[in-house]
Chain A
């Protein structure tokens, strides 16, 4: 399984998000390396289809649904929680669901 974790240092949620990814992998009993990539430039954001920090790709697929008109940029990424609220962190369940696919 290919697991990629993309982040932008200007967004402070990436460390907590990486811990959450590791926890999700533990819960799903997945032992695979995590390729961690820091995004530095707008050009890199476009090349990596980086919707914001953090972005998690499992086998090259984003864990979340992509918007209709994606805006690739050096920014923080908004995730919708099960209660409808917005968070800068992907919910644990969302990561687990993507890992099970």
Chain B
């Protein structure tokens, strides 16, 4: 079961696609931290990845940091191997750390189930939003509710998100057999 609104962010230390060790506490100075479970192979993740890049870009100056974590079993899904993650990060010009959760411990600690699945934490690293990025994976131009952007804007105005949860739509995380 996923962590709940009001819970603290489970800590972690993972390697990113630049082979740099990244810990949650490295971003303690950031006013908002967004943790997104995603992966390479899932078309839902692919459909949304440019939007994640755009959101990081537009909120960077407001001290918002996005971390994207891939936890899938790369033996079953070779497209999600660390080597393929490195390629994807370069090809798509990811402007956020893309982290490899090789043991799946971090996905378990957050209770994540889908890719993509979003967790937004405030300055005290309390969960304020959990769910989807927006409400249309198929057509960016037909989005009606920008869940993640709205949550960030609410938090930046020192308010709790009007919509603190939504249903994440995507592939299931590919657990070890």
A residues engaging B (CB < 8 A)?
A: 10-13, 16, 52, 71, 73, 75-79, 85-89
Contacts and interface: CB of A to CB of B under 8 A. Distances in A.
17 contacts: A12-B169, A12-B170, A13-B44, A13-B138, A71-B78, A71-B79, A73-B76, A75-B42, A76-B43, A76-B170, A86-B43, A86-B47, A87-B43, A87-B138, A88-B43, A88-B47, A88-B137
A76 B78 CA distance: 14
B43 A78 contact: yes
Interface residues of B, number: 20
B47 A75 contact: no
Contacts of A89: 138
Contacts of A77: 43
Q: Is the interface of A mostly helix, strand, loop or mixed?
A: loop
Contacts, number: 47
Interface of B: 41-44, 46-47, 50, 76-79, 137-140, 169-172, 174
Contacts of B174: 75
Given A10-B172, A75-B171, A87-B43, 18 more contacts: A10-B171, A11-B171, A13-B138, A52-B43, A73-B76, A73-B77, A75-B42, A76-B44, A77-B43, A78-B43, A79-B43, A85-B47, A85-B140, A86-B46, A86-B47, A87-B138, A88-B43, A88-B44
Contacts of B139: 87
